[in-house]
Every structure is written in structure tokens, then in C-alpha cells.
């Protein structure tokens, strides 16, 4: 996947997930089980991308705070509606792309299967189009794998390219 496609995928994921993090964690938000999670994301007709992350309650909170910081700077509108095991999100954001400012609107629905799995279906619209895409369907799913591996600490994320970093070390945390 080219770096331009990775950029578009990252912006799209922000549309699906980051905007859902743009406010305090709703009290009735489903919780994820601590341990090692594997997450797959696909869109743009490319191969699914798989990441793994070691989570605990503090790491989930840190991810929400990071999303709050990023979304608060870019999104003028966001709405989170938790309905039992479903989380519906809608957002309108302005993103600084390599080609200039892009208006992005997104809608996603995440369904949790207890505290060990979730799946997200989303649609993102871009104006103007980004790399020829004015609309994109995205999917994301995650499931609990087990305990974090020996030597892993909460926040350690293994990217599809094999690179590992800790999300708590990222700016905005």
C-alpha cells in the first residue's frame, strides 16, 4: 500500500473511530476486556490491515483522550449515541490534506459482542475528493486474543509493517 493510500486510510479511520472519541467516554459505552487485541481494517478495495495492541483500562482511556485532542481541533460536529451494545457516531470535520483542506463527514455503527469483540461499518464522504475518492466504505473489527505477550506493556501496538510503538508515547497523550 502506497504512503498516499496509507494517509487516506488513516484519515478515514479517524472518521470512523477518532470522532467517536471526541468527547468524554459515555457512561454506558461498552468496555473492552484487558489484554491483547487484534484489529482488522479495510477500505478502498485494498487488503485488510491488521494491527495488535495490548490494552488495559488506562490505555483505553488514553486512546479516548488522544482522540478528544485530535477531533477537538478538526471536527465541528460529532454525535455519539450508545444504544445497548451499539455505538452510532456521526461527525463533520475539516482535515488538512497534502492537497489542501478537505471537508469530511462520516457515519459509523459499531456493534460489540460482549467485551471480547466488536465490528464497525462506516461510510465517509470527502469534499473535495481525496485521491479520486469522494466516498468510501470502511470496515473495522477487533477481537480479544488473550493475555498480552511477555514483554508487552499496555499501549504497545504492532503495526501491519512490523513496527511497534506505544500509543502513550504519541503527541496528544
User: What does each of the 173 residues of the chain score in pLDDT, given as a tens digit?
Assistant: 444 444 444 444 444 444 344 456 677 888 899 999 999 998 766 688 899 999 998 888 777 666 655 666 678 887 788 999 998 988 888 888 777 899 999 999 999 999 999 999 999 999 998 878 899 898 999 999 999 999 999 999 998 888 998 887 766 54
Whether the CB-CB separation of 41 and 9 falls below 8 Å is answered with yes
C-alpha closest to that of 64 among 10, 22, 110: 22
Give the C-alpha distances (Å, rounded to integers) separating 61 from 42, 43, 119. 25, 26, 20
Nearest-angstrom CA–CA distance, 105 and 127: 9
Give residue 171's pLDDT. Answer: 60
In the chain, domain spans: 3-169
Write the pLDDT tens digit of every residue in 51-64: 999 999 888 877 76
pLDDT of residue 168: 77
40: nearest Cα among 142, 111, 135: 142
pTM (2 d.p.)? 0.79
Give the pLDDT of residue 5: 41
Q: What is the pLDDT of residue 45?
A: 62
How many angstroms separate the CA atoms of 164 and 147, rounded?
Answer: 17
d(CA 37, CA 57): 13
All cell numbers assigned to 39: 484489529
The pLDDT score that the predictor gives to residue 64 is: 64
Quick one: residue 84, left, alpha or beta (phi over 0 = left, psi -120 to 50 = alpha)?
left
pLDDT for residue 152: 93
Helix (H/G/I), strand (E/B), else coil: 29: coil
Cell 475518492 belongs to 133
Between the CA of residue 6 and those of 28, 80, 157, what are the distances in Å?
33, 26, 17
Amino acid at each position: 500500500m502506497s504512503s498516499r493510500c496509507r494517509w487516506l486510510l488513516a484519515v478515514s479511520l479517524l472518521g470512523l473511530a477518532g470522532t467517536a472519541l471526541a468527547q468524554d467516554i459515555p457512561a454506558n459505552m461498552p468496555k473492552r476486556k484487558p489484554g491483547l487485541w487484534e484489529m482488522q481494517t479495510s477500505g478502498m478495495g485494498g487488503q485488510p490491515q491488521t494491527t495488535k495492541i495490548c490494552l488495559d483500562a488506562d490505555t483505553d482511556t488514553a486512546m479516548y483522550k488522544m482522540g478528544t485532542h485530535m477531533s477537538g481541533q478538526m471536527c465541528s460536529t460529532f454525535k455519539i449515541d450508545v444504544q445497548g451494545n451499539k455505538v452510532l457516531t456521526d461527525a463533520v470535520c475539516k482535515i488538512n490534506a497534502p492537497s489542501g483542506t478537505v471537508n469530511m463527514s462520516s457515519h459509523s455503527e459499531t456493534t460489540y459482542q460482549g467485551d471480547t469483540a466488536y465490528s464497525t461499518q462506516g461510510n465517509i464522504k470527502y469534499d473535495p475528493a481525496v485521491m479520486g475518492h469522494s466516498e468510501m466504505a470502511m470496515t473495522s473489527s477487533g477481537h480479544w486474543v488473550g493475555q498480552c505477550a511477555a514483554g508487552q506493556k499496555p499501549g504497545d501496538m504492532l503495526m501491519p509493517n512490523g513496527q511497534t510503538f506505544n500509543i502513550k508515547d504519541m503527541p496528544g497523550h
